[in-house]
Amino acid sequence: MLQLILSIALFIQITAPIPEVIGVEAPIIPEQYILMPGDGLLVNITGKTNYSYSTVITYEGKLTINLPVGSIVSDKGVSIPRYDVVDAVVISGLTMHSAQDTLTKTFGLYLKDVSVKLTLTALRKGIVFVTGEVQNPGVYNAFPVERVSQIIEKAGGVTPIGSKSNIKLIRNNTERTDINIEQFEMFGNLESNPRLESGDIIYVPQVKGIVTVKGALFGRGESKLRTSALTTEKERISEGVYELNPQNKISDMIAKAGGVTPWADLSFSYIERLESEKGSRLKIPIDLYRILFEKDTTADLLMRSGDILVVPPMNTLVYVQGEVTNPGAFLFSANLRSSDYIGQAGGPTNYANNRGVYIRRLGKKISAKTNPLVEPGDIIVVPRTTFKWWQDYATIISAIAIPIATALLYLRVTE
């Protein structure tokens, strides 16, 4: 008889459609998972009596106690066991592990020497209310393994003026205010992005302040690519608007923007800050190397709403202008001197004033008489000589002689 029951159970498992499995981030642990109405369970009874059946926890939070009471014969002549419901036990609010102990005691009232094992076959589906600054506020279905960020994504995501760091979760009339999906997105902090329960209310408020961060950052906002002068690879240049929270400093906003790129010019970054009285913007130089790598807290200024934080890309070109054969921009290479770049530009022309060559660097004029080392962004200027020996004499004489000779020839012919 037992072999027949097992054969029928195996036949049902093979022919039954495979249920859809909801995506979960990790296996569900029976000692931790709390059972609630709507959960689907496979109840396995083992011992002196062996059988199993599938059921769903009722809206009252109960699980039915099914006992075999014979069998019925199908149209194909297969004998299928028949069960009767003899009881229902409240297991809602218990872990699967605790529910197994409870059910083992209950089944012991009807069957001798049996134990019960539960297998979760279907996750309950509840409803969650999403309000505030999301694209599509409303009511959404939610599984107990889903988190706040996933439901907000179902609601179309946070609007441009919505806060990701000050979200409120209301559960059983108790407000939880430590929901911060920005921390989850940046650092994977699951504690700030909890799982949901049916009836939860998610409220997304407006941001209290914003800061624009742009330049040589990996970025989470709009980005574009430029060609690297050194490697000819594509360099990411980003611009995004990020939420400003109280006590946020420069380093905090850099972290929100994804961090600086290897081609960021850390020494020449700056903040553009609106002066409320004048209506103009004040440029505040900052040294990101001191802030990010030396951890100098005195240089790590507090940000204000409306600030623009600019991290310019490093200039990796050297420019050669003036009396050279092929003026233009050239790739910077360490330990090269001014004469090396003039050579790359095809060398000086016949009209070059080699003694007057100079370098423009950060608004300063530096003489190149000593053939100095060149830095990225330098402009090498090769001026034109004011007087060029015999070439200029020859040019001047030829320019004068030809018209005079033509005039004399004309007079002689007309005599």
Residue from 183, 196, 190 nearest 155 by CA = 196
Q: Look-up: residue for tokens 């609601």?
A: 155
Q: Which tokens is 369 given?
A: 């008489």
Report the pLDDT value the prediction gives residue 332, as an integer from 0 to 100: 82
Q: CA-CA distances (angstroms) from residue 153 to 191, 359, 372, 385? A: 18, 55, 58, 68
Q: Roughly how many angstroms between the first and final C-alpha of the chain, as a whole number?
A: 145
pLDDT at position 26 is 82
Distance CA 163, CA 142 (A): 22
> How are beta strands 201-204 and 126-132 bridged, if at all?
parallel
Which residue in 2, 3, 5 sits closest to 82, CA to CA? 5
pLDDT of residue 387: 58
Please say whether the beta carbons of 205 and 168 come within 8 A: yes
pTM of the model: 0.65
Closest by CA position to 53, among listed 111, 124, 118, 4: 118
At residue 415, the pLDDT reads 58
Distance CA 107, CA 66 (A): 9
How far, in Å, CA of 382 to CA of 17, rounded? 82
What pLDDT digit, counting tens, does each position of 349-405 carry? 999 999 999 999 988 999 999 999 998 889 999 999 875 555 555 555 565 556 655
Q: Domain 126-204 classified CATH 3.90.79.10?
A: no
Hey, is 245 helix, strand or coil?
A: coil
CATH tag for 317-382 (out of 1.10.760.10, 3.40.50.300, 3.30.1360.200, 3.10.560.10): 3.10.560.10
Give the number of residues written for the chain: 415
Question: Quick one: pLDDT at residue 12?
Answer: 42
Q: Cα–Cα distance between 197 and 126 in angstroms, integer?
A: 7
Contact present, 280 and 239 (Cβ < 8 Å)? no
Q: What are the residues whose beta carbons fall under 8 Å from the beta carbon of 350, sequence distance 6 or more?
A: 388, 391
* Residues of the chain below pLDDT 70: 1-22, 73, 220-236, 277-278, 387-415
Q: Which CATH class is domain 210-311?
A: alpha beta
pLDDT given at position 235: 54
pLDDT of residue 16: 45
β-strands 358-361, 308-311 pairing: unpaired
Is-contact 136 116, C-beta < 8 A? no
Residue 6 tokens, joined: 């097992």
* Structural domain boundaries in the chain: 2-122, 126-204, 210-311, 317-382
Could you identify the residue written with the tokens 């000819």?
232
Residue 286 sits at the vertex; the CA angle it makes with 282 and 291, to the nearest 5 degrees, is 145
Two tokens at 388? 């060029």
DSSP type of residue 147: B
Tokens 């009339």: give the residue.
173
Q: Which two tokens stand for residue 100?
A: 């197994």
CA 302-306-309 angle, 5° bins? 60
Q: Count of H helices and E strands in the chain?
A: 8, 21
Of 194, 149, 145, 128, the closest CA to residue 39 belongs to 145
User: Environment class of residue 287 by beta-carbon count within 10 Å: exposed (0-12), middle (13-18) or buried (19+)?
Assistant: middle
d(CA 338, CA 378): 10
- 411 to each of 65, 128, 373, 414, how far by Cα in Å? 134, 108, 61, 5
Same fold: 126-204 with 210-311: yes
CB 132 within 8 A of CB 205: yes
Q: What pLDDT sits at residue 243?
A: 93
Predicted pLDDT at 313:
84
Residue with tokens 């190149």: 368
